Structure 1
Amino acid sequence: MASEPRQVILASSDDWDEWIQVIKTVAEAKDIWEYVDPNREALLEMTEPQEPDPSKIKTNATSIADLDELGREIYQYQWRKYERDQEFHNSKVRAVQDLKSFIQQTVSQDNLHYTYNGNAHDILVALKKRFAPTTRYRELEIIRKWKAHPRSLRQSNIDNWLTTWDLLYDKGKALNIPDFQDNRPMTDFMLAVKSLIPGFYSHWFGRLQDDLTCIGFHDLVQKFREWRQAEISDSHNQHDISFVTLKGRSPEGKQPNQPGSRSSNQLREPRTCICGIQHHFSKCPYIIESIRPNGWSPDPKIDEKWKNLIQSNWMIRKAVKKARQYIEQKASNSESPKEAFQSLNQDSSYGVYPDITFATTKASYSTWDSPYPLRDSFILDSASNIHICNVQDRFKDF
């Protein structure tokens, strides 16, 4: 079953481009656009098929009775073809008449008087003269909408907002507007989404700096859609993490809000690393080899992800380099790289985070091997349904 054409009402010049495209789609479906195209100044006439003439089969023949057996077969073939051609012609005539009715249904009441006289072609020519914007007007209007669009997110949902980016870009490219050439549209889009997803901006801005042709505009918008969807999914799957304290003190022995210590509100919380642990780059053994525990070996898949990210993102490269330099500097002033790692917890630029952390939503687990005094203690947490201890003999049932 054929779908109904989208109902677009022609009320002003702003509606013309979309409205005439709908009219064209309807006309092409009936194979009549060439007969109604308003860009044709002269109407293309529909030629009605002619009945077969016996005299063209046999000289001086006036009827089929004057033809021999072969001539009558030729005449009958031509007559069947004529009937088919006539039906096709009549269907086109009806389609043009139906199109005129459809045009009247999709023009606003104030503009209906433009459709009173003439056939469908005459009506479209009249409407084009009245509503089709000039090229210069189109250019100015597209530029105006493009510049205003980043601020329009407050009035529309983000999916519609992204779709409009694609639409305006296509229109600007079709008109060869300078603002839509080279990488300027991608720069405008990146600046518009910077505050929405900073990670997306950092990643793709860096790649575009290295290679302006690495991605097209529509692909960039689609990447943003996918990145945003992934972040939404991640936020739904994340669990709240709380840190265990002993008598109101952290593993370092400081109370959370005592003078000289930094509360969680004062710290910049690290994001979940590629390795799956929430920590800063300077604490990740995948990129800081000197802090790897004895017997530790990297997961090949995670290791490959790190290598690809460092290679493709200049901001990540810079952050990793800074973390490595920090560890090297600490190591030069410490007995071992392990001490340098432990001293990170006292450095204000990296924040204070306990070496032993416990998740109270589902499980309690140790995230690092550390000389923390309570390392061999088995701390029970009533809010956790799973407990982990590094001494098997202490388990009564497991």
Structure 2
Amino acid sequence: MGDSTKSHILTKSSDWNHWLFLVKGRAQNTDIWSLVNPSLTTKPQGTTKPKKPIIQGTVTADKKLTYDYEMSNYRADYALYEKQQKALANLATYIQDSIATNLLPYISNTDSDNHPWTYLTTLKAKLAPTNEATDLELEQQYNQLKRGPSNQNIEKWLQSWEEVYTKAKQRDLPQVKDDRPVRDFLLSLRGIDSTYSQMELHLLRGQETKPTLHKAVEDYRQHLRIENLEKPSKSSKHSAFPATFKGKEQENNEKPPCICGLNHWYKDCFYLNEDIRPKHWNPNKAAQTRVNEKLKDPKIKARIDYALNREKERQLGSPSTTNTTATLTPNVQSKSPSIEVASFSVISHSTRRANTSLQSSWILDSGTDHHICNRSMQDRFKQTRAAELDEYLTCGETTAPITTYGTVTVNVKTPSGKGHITLQDVAMSPSFMANLISLDKALEAGIDWNPRTGTLSKNNQTLCFTERHNGHFYLERNAAPL
């Protein structure tokens, strides 16, 4: 079987329409579809093999002239006949090569008739779905799409919407009449992008000319492209434990075109965001006119308002004070070192409840590359920046949202007695099962850990100690509540 057919094999009933479309394309390319169309109830007759002319009796000049003329026509007719026969033979071979092995007996038992029409009518009787079955299958697929993508790839899910919608329109199903499919599509987005869904549904109600489903899907694709440009890349999974942090790593420098004519985010546009305008800024008249015209489009205005509102939500609280390196500074109050570590992503693990409460203790985690705390540290936590709307922790099938970022102090044992360390840019997830300190970030900062002695040190200076208990290394171990 040739490589070209491997991805287009007729195996089951649901493959029939797609497979027949490919067969029809090949037949039309060689002008033989009218000879093989399985919708025809009787086998079509192709070009009859022409008979070669001969000269009867004595050859005369007139007979020779007639013979030459007939011979010229014969050659033309035979070439057409031969071309048609070759095309039929090639299509028959293609059909044989593009069906599953278990279907070969059906076409090999056609009384030595290797004509493509015979093959196709036989396979159609075996596999072609009835209109009732097709409609039922499309209804089921449509209802499944309305539930949202779940864990499915978003682009594949969007493609499925377009494919099922197109087929349903061909069958004139009631589910895809008027603006119903657009409304169903937008409702299906609620689980993954509720703000966009609500905004578009609101706009849909006020539009006299409703968009098509294809337009609605493409609009959402464009929205995702802009969102993905604006968002940092997701952190990758680590090997140590099954809980993965999803959040910021680094900014994407690629900026989309703005309605003012420049390339930047809406939040960075002086024409759109009054909060960032310089005191003595004067707008360009041509650009201002262009912006005003664009803002007359309610859909464009709604999207810009959405982007600006998202930016305001991000700015809740103080600006981020994230450092990119670790620093060592004295702690005057406890006369012990203070460690400040910037961090970006986390992976952690759960454990059984023992005499020590993980929920209210601090663990040094060798698989962690982000600091994280829960509601037990609420009194110590000082917010520095808001979390993204979609930042969360996953642990198995459970998710825990990250609500904000900030600094938090950890009580530790130092060579001179009790002290504390201060962690920077800690992710606050109130429902998370433990408080974790990133050993990975400490090592990056030049802070060494000796698991045998339990010491954390830098430049041969001991900073604090860890305590091993129930397979964990605690910097701060608190008793479980009664």
Q: TM-score, normalised by structure 2?
A: 0.50
Quick check: 147-156 or 226-235, which moved more? Answer: 147-156
**In structure 2, distance between residues paired with 1:100 and 1:153:** 40
Counterpart in the other structure of 2:30: 30
Q: How does 1:184-195 map to 2 (within 5 A)?
A: 184-195=180-191
- Which of 156, 170, 174 pairs up with 2:170? 174
Distance apart, 1:190 and its partner CA: 1.1
Q: How does 1:1-398 map to 2 (within 5 A)?
A: 4=4, 7-51=7-51, 62=56, 65-68=59-62, 72-73=64-65, 75-116=67-108, 117=110, 118-119=113-114, 120-151=116-147, 153-198=149-194, 200-236=196-232, 274=266, 276=268, 283=275, 295-300=280-285, 303-304=288-289, 307-308=292-293, 310-313=295-298
The two structures, once aligned, show a CA RMSD in angstroms of 4.1
User: Residue 194 of structure 1 contacts residue 201 of structure 1 at CA under 8 Å; is this kept in 2?
Assistant: yes
Counterpart in the other structure of 1:372: none
3-state SS in 1 of match to 2:150: helix
3-state SS in 1 of match to 2:59: helix
Distance apart, 1:174 and its partner CA: 0.4
**In structure 2, distance between residues paired with 1:80 and 1:128:** 41
1:31 is aligned with what amino acid?
D
Distance of aligned partners of 1:315 and 1:35 in 2 relative to their CA distance in 1, 3 Å threshold? closer
Distance of aligned partners of 1:283 and 1:47 in 2 relative to their CA distance in 1, 3 Å threshold? closer
Counterpart in the other structure of 1:327: none
3-state SS in 2 of match to 1:139: helix
Q: How many residues end up aligned between the 2 structures?
A: 285
Distance apart, 1:72 and its partner CA: 4.1
3-state SS in 2 of match to 1:220: helix
Unaligned runs of 5+ in 1: 55-60, 242-271, 286-291, 321-344, 362-398
Counterpart in the other structure of 1:380: none
Write the deviation string for residues 13-56 of structure 1: whole angstroms up to 9, x where unpaired.
111111111221222222221111110011111232534768xx
Distance apart, 1:316 and its partner CA: 5.8
Q: TM-score, normalised by structure 1?
A: 0.59
User: Residue 36 of structure 2 contacts residue 120 of structure 2 at CA under 8 Å; is this kept in 1?
Assistant: yes
**In structure 2, distance between residues paired with 1:122 and 1:154:** 44
**In structure 2, distance between residues paired with 1:126 and 1:212:** 49
Distance of aligned partners of 1:23 and 1:281 in 2 relative to their CA distance in 1, 3 Å threshold? same
Distance of aligned partners of 1:315 and 1:103 in 2 relative to their CA distance in 1, 3 Å threshold? closer
**In structure 2, distance between residues paired with 1:72 and 1:193:** 80
Distance apart, 1:205 and its partner CA: 2.9
Counterpart in the other structure of 2:422: none
User: Residue 35 of structure 1 contacts residue 44 of structure 1 at CA under 8 Å; is this kept in 2?
Assistant: yes
Q: Which has the higher strand share?
A: 2
3-state SS in 1 of match to 2:77: helix
Distance of aligned partners of 1:359 and 1:36 in 2 relative to their CA distance in 1, 3 Å threshold? same
2:56 is aligned with what amino acid?
T
Counterpart in the other structure of 2:451: none
Distance of aligned partners of 1:53 and 1:95 in 2 relative to their CA distance in 1, 3 Å threshold? closer
3-state SS in 2 of match to 1:223: helix
1:62 is aligned with what amino acid?
Q
User: Residue 48 of structure 1 contacts residue 86 of structure 1 at CA under 8 Å; is this kept in 2?
Assistant: no
Distance apart, 1:137 and its partner CA: 1.1
Distance of aligned partners of 1:21 and 1:277 in 2 relative to their CA distance in 1, 3 Å threshold? closer
User: Residue 10 of structure 1 contacts residue 108 of structure 1 at CA under 8 Å; is this kept in 2?
Assistant: yes
Write the deviation string for residues 66-97 of structure 1: whole angstroms up to 9, x where unpaired.
343xx644542432232122122122223222
Identity %: 21
Distance apart, 1:311 and its partner CA: 3.4
Q: Which has the higher helix share?
A: 1
**In structure 1, distance between residues paired with 2:88 and 2:151:** 41
